[in-house]
Structure 1
């Protein structure tokens, strides 16, 4: 279940905003497309109605032209002007005229049914026949709402000038229909109450409606043609409102070409020729059918896109917020904090990281303040022999931000003179000031500060290379010249005098304590001889009733052997032998005691668990017991060999232990490589060792960085999955421990030189 954390909500809201922006753009595009579609539909409907208007007006113009041709027909003029006597009829003239007008109905379907009434003959002429009496014609063709007398009076008995009678019910040979009637009297300039002849064209409503069928067939709805008074000329379709009522409706503007009225798009066109009004009513749904399809498709696609986008947003929000939640959880676990009300992950991280930075800055300031103390402590431990191996010295030097540059030189002790046996507060303050003056003067003259106080009246100086960059070393002449300048400056300016004693040359930083011991012996000799110049250890060979093998040297020898440093142990053994053979003249009894002390040290060391569990314990014990007090060279060689064998056991055991740790790390990595949160911290936690330790140990044991090994394991499994071809690249990236497929693709190409897709294609080929 997705945890609705603050980070998750922040990511999700950002993704939703990203989804909303194109959705708004799509919605605006949708509105535009709907508007354009609607405009095109209206435009098409208007065009269709205009075409119907043009055809209808053209046909009506042809009807009017037909009456004009009748007006100039000579046969009709003869018939109209003949005087009828004794009921004689000009049969030939009537036949001839009928033959002339018969062809008009073949070219215009509006002229399929017409008749001509001759008042002088009281006869009705039609394209197919002649009716001697109008009553005969009325029996077959008449208006349902008009009697014979009314017909004779309004149609046959009046003068008509291009007159159109609106739609009326009509019966033709027993068939009921509705017709529009066009009437024209002859001659054309007839103005009296009656005229010699009348031409009447009867147009069936179905004939007119066929011209409007294009609109209703396409969209449905209705179409109407009405005269200027709103009386219907021609109807088409169903559901049309009354045209007279529509024209007077308060919400309807008769001057607009298109407008919506009762869910219909009403299109209105007025004829300039005869004042007729052409109207079409198209249902809104039918008109916007294309727009509705666009609407449906747009909302469907948008809905699917939003749903998919929301699911992807949920997935990405959870995926991207997961590291933040894990980081917050880890910080709370490590810092022992509980959830704070009203604070989300960002506030929590911001507050705690800011606090960590402030604490780190305070710690750095405190460390900087403590650096002089750390350097002094480092130098004191080094002189006392507490740091026994190179690794210990390097680590302590790095912590104190210092070191023995060049790793060789001399140790010097300055003994301030004139204060022996004085311990009052005033004297101690004066000695403290004198030490500060000498150290500052030395800094001014030599430019280095490898010095430390040793007691109230002594300063220890380590003379090594002048600068870390140059690597140059101070020779004995340089040191004597420097100490001479220091002595003259101290006396001239502060009336301070001192005795300088120097030990033998040390060749490694592990030998500094030995040089310091020699400097102490040289100082004792100088004080005993009351010397005030520079005294070197080589100048102080003394007869001694005791041997040189102090406890700190013994502890250093034990420490170097336990660390497995054979060369350092050999150097220490040589130093002890040299101290007792070259700088002292020991009696045979003292020499035997020294040999016994060294053998006791080795036997005491042999009782440690490391050597007891070794298969070489008994042989080594016998060798140590068998060592004899022969001359110094043979004793030194035998002890060096034993120390080297002991160091070999330590190194072998240490290597075995390191190998087991490395194998444990490899196994854990191979089991957990798919975990995207697998870090150096997690591996160190599993190995129960510090991160820096396992990183350095893995590098020394395998020659490969631990991070590179983890990446190689992931890439090997990715190659296997790509060859199996069961998962997509995105799925493989998550299965081999990558949070994003982009990071996986970049790492894969860096390691293999090709992209995952290209590698899969190559493997398939």
Structure 2
């Protein structure tokens, strides 16, 4: 393997070096196993302690959030502000507040025991019970070290602002436990004197200790939490006196994250939010046990690595050098002198591959960055009815990477209620967040949904049906959509207190008709805001009776655009749709029918004034045919006559387009025949000459000639080269340059690919 020798030697040397590393690593790992184990244990302990701290702070934040939600509760505010009338209590109001706040205890175990004290009624509201005398509540739930009067003075009669009472002994009916107490006065801006209401959340120490149980179960260690004043919040695996001795010991530095104290590795972290101190201890013998395991595994792995490395090093050097040399040959063949050079073969490969990857990644990142904006713009154009032909819509959908499950479905509008007339920065930010939440929830609930924003408080949802063998069934899809959006509305209100209203138009049978369904959905939303109390309203339910015909302006514009694009099938379908909607869904009077036919004839006559028809021989015949459509004929006859006219119009357009396409292709061929010798002749320059986009002329040339432009250019060059090879006036290298190739090597490969033999062999065969 002489040509592989350099790379082979480099591989072999690298494998020999790798074999030496495990021997050194085995010796070093034994000496450093204790430090590594200690570092890993500290990291794991800190991670677990940080996780417990985060969970505890999140739970406490939820407790604080609970009190803030109570501050916004209108029923509770009513109770707080009304005056008690003699011995009469607002029993219904108290019961209503109890029912509203009861579900909070199901979402956070820290909220399993709480009560609300109303100063004006001197009543305590707890889960499932109302105590009209605080003494009755104190008999079942009390602190072991506080009398009734002390409890009233410290808890009920004072103003609290997110205060936390340290760990205290507590009696919960007959159960003895220890608790941490969170207290907040209502309203939140209370500062002094008795407040109208006080919320007290009693957190059992067991709930806090459960967050630290992992440290004890994993290491057999202990955990301790204290507040900023040093009062104990939770203990796990350590006594109160022992924890106090640890804190009071001058040899123990509380500022260090980790340090050894007696036979334990003590980890200490401090909360930046409330100043609480979290400590965990890991026994020293656990660390040494892990170190011994590391020692055994290290020597075992080192021995196995040496044995296997000696046996496989030579084989891998041979196997890995061969493909790299093949790749190197391909890179040199394609890039040559234009590629990125380096000191050796690896630098050459790395430079060129990195350049390719970097360029591709930049292009991919830019496309991905633009894709959401392109897709949103496409959806807005779709519902606005800007697409006049199915081909234009399909091309725009492919560009936006919008893959619809089918061409049928519904368009709906989601209204986020409660923000009408509000346009401050805070409200706009809140509406933006609400829209993002609703769109995320809707994406999780159903597939086949495409969404875009409509103003600041509305979302447009395009619901396409799943493609099935049985075809599109509007009633079944309507039931599925109703079920999905009912779940969304209930979930949004339950989880985020977002109140939504949804409206839907009639089904569309093709994507260009989605704009009409969207307009119906908007009108239905206006009706829903004015008169409906339902959360979901359909166009059929809100549609007022009308005596007019159906032929909106956007349908007329799309019909004109479709005929101008030559899309015969879509134009026929649109005409059929208009006739069906006016015959099946409406009962038109004679005057309305005449007006409808007159407008359809007017639309077709407008098309005859277009440039594409002015020079047509059929212009006069088509005009007479349009004028001859009579409104007195049955609807089926009128439909057949109009469809026949539409077919003739689309035929004229198709003929014009075909002739124009052939002219463009002939112009491209003439330009290639004149410029084939230019090595810089690319698809971009051809497109620039034709004044058309690159993708357009590439597809057009392929469609007309059944040949790619690149293949045609190569064929022209090789044909000219074949003529030059028949003489001895030029060498092969000179011929390659004259017919537009940068290198003789590229010319030889192209010539052999087209002609089947090398250029020199072809010249010799001509002489013979």
What TM-score do the two structures reach when normalised by structure 1?
0.48
What TM-score do the two structures reach when normalised by structure 2?
0.48
The structure that has the greater radius of gyration is: 1
